Chains A and B, each alone.
Chain A
Amino acid sequence: MVPAEVVALRDPVLLVVEDEVLIRLSTSDFLRNEGFTVLEAGSAREALTVLNARYDVSVVITDIHMSGEFEGLELIREIRRSFPAVKIVTASAYQITEPVEAVITKPYSLERLSSVIKSLIGN
């Protein structure tokens, strides 16, 4: 587990978790152009691999409904359990009860997503 103070001292690194490749690509690309360092994961399992290997992820942006045996809600629970310093932004068309920092309602604009992230990291 990564201590909160270690994460707080680093530049913000985002992890975009999305199984639809073109959405992942356009979201990541937009956020890079906004000045963030962006890592990409195509599944919840890949996201956990990244989080377990890298200490520098500040915010995870994840879809809720993804293909695979392990999806968004389980990823959120696992992040809360193992990486409590990492902030979570999720996009959903429905109300969710999981404890995340921000839920943006679908459909949303990338500008809105960027604005939410910036407010979370105090930028």
Chain B
Amino acid sequence: MSDIMQPVMGEKGCLPGCMTGKGCLIYVVVVVIVGFLASKLPVAMPEIALPAEPVFTLPAVGFAVTNTLIATWLTMLLLIVGSILVTRNMGLVPGGLQNLVEWGLGVLLGLAESVAGERGRKFFPLVATIFIFLLVSNWMGILPGFASVGLIHEAPHGGHQAQQVSVLGLRVNILQAGEVGEHETGWTVFSFLRSAATDLNTPLALALISVLMTQVVGVQAQGLRYFSKFTPSFKDVLGLIVGPLETVGELAKIISFSFRLFGNVFAGEVLLAVLAFIVPYLVSVPFMGLELFVGLMQAFVFAMLTLVFMSMATMGHGSEGEEH
């Protein structure tokens, strides 16, 4: 046993952060107790709803405000208030929070300039905004309460059972963990908040902005000659195909941008809900870590791809050989 413990044993006994025999025993006991409690407090089977649920409807316009829209507003509020707090009393020698934010933006700017060269500075605002917005939005979606706390509504097919109780004289329906059949009217939860990218609208909007700005930047750099890459040229057989191929490629970029982000975040949400149903309270924890990582990577990939496509749009065909 001592040779196994050798790497974690310092001179004064066990180094902090390692697990001794006694610590292991305590951990096993805690797991057994939590597992026992988990069987007594069941988690309801998750309702996997693809479209975002409306929380309320604006009466005049008839526009349904969905829970993902409210989450987007919350993200915006967080970022705007954070920005105001950081840039208040901005000093030439930064201290504290301003220093931290400047370091973060410095890292992003360095990355943008390493990918796109001097033009990286010009693309930086849009790319960094996409990254920071998606990062905050994805990470906020893991907080407790997202996609779980809300009012219950009657569902036309399937759903959960509900029990009517009387609270302070009001008759209130409380959700139970039991299911009803597919053809009966059950109850389902319309949560107040849901991670913004789980609604296809948000990734689609960001993808459209990305691809549109890529075209705009291309036209800014190359003038109207930029559109010659989409038209077929009749010089040789290959030129006939390349034009339409590029057009289809641009459309495919929109679809792939939006579905990559949507799929990753939505599948992560479904995964967490289903795991919480299968083994409550325990198995979800490492997968929350996975969600953190996936949220970061998807934000990074979206921003980096936007940057790369913008950089490619400004280069054009002629200067591609000069890069290597």
Chains A and B come from one and the same complex: no
Query: Could you list which residues of chain A lie within 8 angstroms of chain B, going by C-beta atoms?
Result: none
